[in-house]
Chains A and B, each alone.
Chain A
């Protein structure tokens, strides 16, 4: 209702400030939030590269070799470097927020937030390490 407040004789004029486009630059915590939202573009980028890799694999050995060459180009490597930073930031902020969404109970006691976040981090690091071991050993 107050989005379009109706003025009455008792409230002759209300003042409503509008939010500037760059509202998120006024406070560091908001800038950090926008940064977190932006990281999803890089996560989508990774997914896209992965899909293109699968497509190249389907097109045969030559196409796949060409795709791998493309991945080895300096441009691709630097893009991957930037993406990696953003995706790590995305993961860390995401796992830190996990306790907000999960209220686990064991018996009568609530599982502490640190344990929920910690389990997420442990799972993330061990699965990443296992994947790295499988892919890099060969």
Chain B
């Protein structure tokens, strides 16, 4: 069978080498405090941490719960804390963490539903609140054709559009950990993605939510969001640029109240 032969091809680094995975377990029906459970997993040269977790799920302990989907850094489902770092487990090789033990936990700063699964409604609600879609004062009619954009105009926001909502930036942000009301890195970056889009006219509406203490101004520029981002979105840059532009707007309003903006 094709699947079996694929599994058989996985190259073993050293004959029968094993590594210990210490995995965060929280089973609300069984325990009030989480515990770390150790599993012995074979070392394969081409295994990422997600492969090791799937090995546990398939062969050692079917009760372990975690989210994953694409296995190639696109879906943003498998973000976890690996040895304290917020990372996509599909993009972190076991070999790079030897000799172990490798500690795997759920993303920090979020409530844990079960084992490695976090509750992310807070993020989804914040994301919706900044209206991450193109807002027009008046829609063009179909006969008028598409909204054209130059490559330079695309380049203005493209970087911020690469976000895959993996929430690593929230897990890495101590401000969000201390103040859960903070809008947070990815949401602000995605709001900027639309603010900087030449086709969009909704910056004013988003500003009401973002130019507040809980919006951009709670950010103290720790910068970790940009360090952990697997897509080089650089949310820290998005927030700082937003701070600069809203400060300029404030001065413009103060010095030229007739400017109307």
* Residue ranges of A at the interface with B (Cβ–Cβ < 8 Å): 1-3, 5, 11-17, 19, 23-24, 26-27, 29-30, 33, 37, 97, 99-103, 108, 110
Interface check B222, CB cutoff 8 A: yes
Partner of B112, one of A16, A99, A102, A108: A16
Interface check B243, CB cutoff 8 A: yes
Partner of B174, one of A2, A5, A13, A23: A23
Interface check B73, CB cutoff 8 A: no
Interface check B142, CB cutoff 8 A: no
Interface check B22, CB cutoff 8 A: no
Cβ contact within 8 Å between A15 and B26: yes
Compute the total of residue contacts between A and B using a CB distance below 8 Å: 82
Cβ contact within 8 Å between A19 and B110: no
Contacts of B177 in A (CB 8 A): 19, 23
Q: A12-B29, A17-B108 are in contact. List 15 more A-B contacts (CB 8 A).
A: A2-B111, A3-B181, A14-B112, A15-B33, A23-B178, A30-B174, A30-B224, A33-B174, A97-B240, A99-B237, A101-B240, A101-B243, A101-B244, A103-B241, A108-B152
Partner of B222, one of A13, A30, A99, A103: A30
* Partner-contacting stretch, out of B62-70, B89-97, B119-127, B253-261: B119-127
Ordered by A's residue number, 10 sampled pairs between the chains whose C-beta atoms are within 8 Å are A1-B122, A2-B110, A2-B121, A14-B119, A15-B111, A23-B174, A23-B178, A100-B223, A101-B243, A108-B151
Given contacts A2-B180, A3-B180, contact A101 B122 (CB under 8 A): no
Q: Which residues of B1-58 have CB atoms within 8 Å of chain A's CB atoms?
A: 26, 28-29, 32-34
Interface check B113, CB cutoff 8 A: yes
Closest partner residue, chain B, to A105 (CB atom): B152
Contacts of A24 in B (CB 8 A): 174
Cβ contact within 8 Å between A101 and B237: yes
Contacts of B32 in A (CB 8 A): 13
When chains A and B are docked, how far (Å) is the Cα of A28 from the Cα of B73?
Answer: 27
Given contacts A2-B122, A30-B222, contact A16 B111 (CB under 8 A): yes
Contacts of B174 in A (CB 8 A): 19, 23-24, 30, 33
When chains A and B are docked, how far (Å) is the Cα of A120 from the Cα of B193?
Answer: 27
Closest partner residue, chain A, to B120 (CB atom): A2
When chains A and B are docked, how far (Å) is the Cα of A37 from the Cα of B132?
Answer: 32
Given contacts A23-B174, A30-B174, contact A97 B181 (CB under 8 A): no
When chains A and B are docked, how far (Å) is the Cα of A15 from the Cα of B118?
Answer: 9
Closest partner residue, chain B, to A96 (CB atom): B223
When chains A and B are docked, how far (Å) is the Cα of A110 from the Cα of B121?
Answer: 36
Contacts of B125 in A (CB 8 A): 1
Closest partner residue, chain B, to A5 (CB atom): B111
Cβ contact within 8 Å between A5 and B223: no
Contacts of A108 in B (CB 8 A): 151-152, 155
Interface check B221, CB cutoff 8 A: yes
Partner of B241, one of A19, A29, A101: A101
B174 → A minimal CB distance (Å): 6
A84 → B minimal CB distance (Å): 23
Contacts of A17 in B (CB 8 A): 108, 112
Given contacts A2-B180, A15-B112, A24-B174, contact A100 B221 (CB under 8 A): yes
When chains A and B are docked, how far (Å) is the Cα of A133 from the Cα of B166?
Answer: 53
Closest partner residue, chain A, to B31 (CB atom): A15
Contacts of B29 in A (CB 8 A): 12
Contacts of B120 in A (CB 8 A): 2
When chains A and B are docked, how far (Å) is the Cα of A58 from the Cα of B227?
Answer: 50
